[in-house]
């Protein structure tokens, strides 16, 4: 399928190439996670000024810089890292599983399902429930429900034809978006602004407790996908071809679908719907490290996390002291990229694998 970006470098995956690629990605992720929380904007008499926290103060529990770093900026960076990793891994897995370059949480209706549930939770005043995690839990449930419906609609017998599944996903996405608008239309003004704000996505109020809960779910999802990395290679050639090289197709498809959905649901629960990370990162990396998921998937996890930290830092600094919702930043970055993938696909023979 020519919809996938054409370029690829290097030969088959060897241990050396794997170590090199993942080492570089891990270094990038670590650098970004440490550097981003140090950056801030200070208002001076001359206007705004980009400042760095005092590194030597970090570790000193009484220092202001330490508190800013540990209490507000580090959890924020870690949250972005976690969610970016989850979304990129899910996008990467969905693209291979559905054999379609445009597959990602948005096009599969997962994000819209989560948003609808969150909006309903806010409308019903449940956002404060469960110790303030009401919206997040609702989003997770909504993501799961959307996935279950799309899976049931898209399945033909025991087979999982990608085109049907994507169509089901897009349809469910539209349905959920319309329902969200309906809920918003009937809501109180104060609720509406919270709904709209939630749907833009952001990390401004991330607590360590939330992170820890999300890390468990996201960690589990990532481990399952990484464990199935080689099966994803074979599945890219279709279920029959995968079966003939030893993949238990039904089991692998179900596990990938469930794990990827868990990742998306948990990510949305933390930060609201954040689009395009799942689309951009795997595509861009495929051109650099090749399509083998044994390197592509871990690289996507690391770079997806790093990219979202960068986007979030930009969102935090660009119009400081005010903040942009990070979802707007990723969308502005991602939409043109989405079009690029589409146009490249059109230039080739066909976008649909069939």
Query: Among the candidate windows 31-39, 57-65, 135-143, 241-249, which touches another protein by CB under 8 A?
Result: 241-249
Number of H-type helices and E-type strands within the chain: 15, 2
Closest contact distance (angstroms) between CB of 3 and another protein is 8
Interacting residues with another protein between 71 and 130 (CB under 8 A): 95-96, 99-101
- Lookup result for tokens 């279920």: 239
Q: Please, what is the angle between helix 326-347 and helix 189-200, to 10°?
A: 50
Closest contact distance (angstroms) between CB of 82 and another protein is 23
Per rule CB under 8 A, is residue 173 in the interface with another protein? no
- Rounded to the nearest angstrom, the gap between the alpha carbon of residue 216 and the centroid of all alpha carbons in its chain is 16
Closest contact distance (angstroms) between CB of 15 and another protein is 6
Per rule CB under 8 A, is residue 11 in the interface with another protein? yes
Closest contact distance (angstroms) between CB of 353 and another protein is 5
C-alpha to C-alpha distance for 302 and 304, rounded to whole angstroms: 6
Per rule CB under 8 A, is residue 2 in the interface with another protein? yes
Helix (H/G/I), strand (E/B), else coil: 302: helix
Per rule CB under 8 A, is residue 253 in the interface with another protein? no
Do residues 122 and 139 touch, judged by C-beta distance below 8 A? Answer: no
Question: Contacting another protein (CB under 8 A), which of 67, 155, 197, 230?
Answer: 230
Q: What are φ and ψ of residue 343, in 5° steps?
A: -65, -40
Query: Which residue lies nearer to another protein by CB, 30 or 223?
Result: 223
C-alpha to C-alpha distance for 109 and 180, rounded to whole angstroms: 13
Interacting residues with another protein between 294 and 333 (CB under 8 A): 294
Interacting residues with another protein between 209 and 228 (CB under 8 A): 226-227
Instruction: Show Cβ contacts of residue 270 under 8 Å, excluding neighbours closer than 6 positions.
Output: 79, 82, 83, 136, 203, 206, 210, 211, 214
> Angle at Cα 275 formed by Cα 147 and Cα 317, nearest 5°?
145
Do residues 74 and 313 touch, judged by C-beta distance below 8 A? Answer: no
Query: Which residue lies nearer to another protein by CB, 75 or 221?
Result: 221
Interacting residues with another protein between 40 and 69 (CB under 8 A): none
Question: Contacting another protein (CB under 8 A), which of 29, 87, 149, 249?
Answer: 249
Closest contact distance (angstroms) between CB of 247 and another protein is 6
- Lookup result for tokens 């919702």: 325
- Rg of the Cα atoms in the chain: 20
Per rule CB under 8 A, is residue 161 in the interface with another protein? no
Per rule CB under 8 A, is residue 183 in the interface with another protein? no
Question: Contacting another protein (CB under 8 A), which of 61, 240, 322, 336?
Answer: 240
Query: Which residue lies nearer to another protein by CB, 90 or 195?
Result: 90
> Angle at Cα 13 formed by Cα 12 and Cα 16, nearest 5°?
125
Query: Among the candidate windows 28-36, 80-88, 166-174, 230-238, which touches another protein by CB under 8 A?
Result: 230-238
Per rule CB under 8 A, is residue 229 in the interface with another protein? yes
C-alpha to C-alpha distance for 123 and 116, rounded to whole angstroms: 10
Closest contact distance (angstroms) between CB of 285 and another protein is 12
Query: Which residue lies nearer to another protein by CB, 243 or 317?
Result: 243
Q: Please, what is the angle between helix 189-200 and helix 162-185, to 10°?
A: 150
Query: Which residue lies nearer to another protein by CB, 45 or 158?
Result: 158
Instruction: Show Cβ contacts of residue 19 under 8 Å, excluding neighbours closer than 6 positions.
Output: none
Residues engaged in binding another protein (CB under 8 A)? 1-2, 4, 6, 8, 11-15, 18, 95-96, 99-101, 226-227, 229-230, 233-234, 236-238, 240-241, 243-249, 286, 290-292, 294, 353
């Amino acid at each position: 399928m020519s919809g996938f970006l054409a370029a690829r470098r290097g030969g088959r995956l060897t241990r050396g190439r794997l170590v090199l690629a993942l080492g570089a990605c891990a270094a990038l992720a670590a650098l970004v996670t440490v550097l981003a929380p140090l950056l801030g904007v200070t208002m001076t008499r001359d206007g705004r000024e980009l400042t760095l926290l005092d590194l030597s103060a970090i570790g000193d529990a009484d220092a202001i810089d330490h508190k800013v770093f540990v209490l507000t900026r580090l959890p924020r960076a870690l949250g972005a890292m976690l969610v970016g990793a989850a979304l990129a891994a899910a996008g990467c897995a969905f693209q291979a599983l559905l054999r379609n370059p445009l597959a990602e949480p948005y096009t599969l209706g997962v994000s819209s399902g989560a948003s609808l549930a969150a909006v309903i939770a806010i409308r019903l005043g449940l956002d404060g429930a469960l110790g303030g995690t009401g919206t997040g839990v609702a989003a997770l449930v909504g993501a799961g429900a959307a996935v279950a419906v799309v899976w049931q609609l898209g399945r033909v017998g025991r087979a999982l034809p990608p085109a049907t599944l994507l169509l089901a996903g897009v349809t469910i996405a539209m349905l959920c978006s319309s329902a969200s608008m309906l809920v918003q239309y009937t809501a109180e003004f104060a609720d509406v602004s919270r709904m709209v704000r939630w749907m833009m996505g952001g990390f401004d109020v991330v607590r360590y407790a939330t992170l820890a809960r999300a890390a468990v779910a996201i960690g589990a999802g990532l481990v399952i996908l990484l464990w199935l990395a080689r099966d994803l290679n074979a599945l890219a050639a279709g279920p029959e071809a995968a079966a003939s090289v030893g993949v238990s197709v039904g089991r692998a498809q179900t596990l990938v679908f469930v794990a990827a959905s868990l990742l998306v649901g948990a990510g949305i629960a933390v930060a609201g719907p954040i689009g395009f990370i799942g689309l951009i990162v795997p595509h861009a990396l495929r051109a650099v490290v090749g399509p083998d998921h044994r390197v592509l998937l871990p690289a996507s996890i690391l770079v997806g996390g790093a990219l979202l930290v960068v986007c979030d830092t930009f969102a935090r600094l660009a119009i400081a002291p005010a903040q942009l919702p990070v979802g707007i930043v990723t969308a502005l970055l991602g939409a043109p990229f989405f079009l690029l993938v589409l146009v490249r696909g059109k230039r080739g023979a066909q976008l649909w694998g069939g």
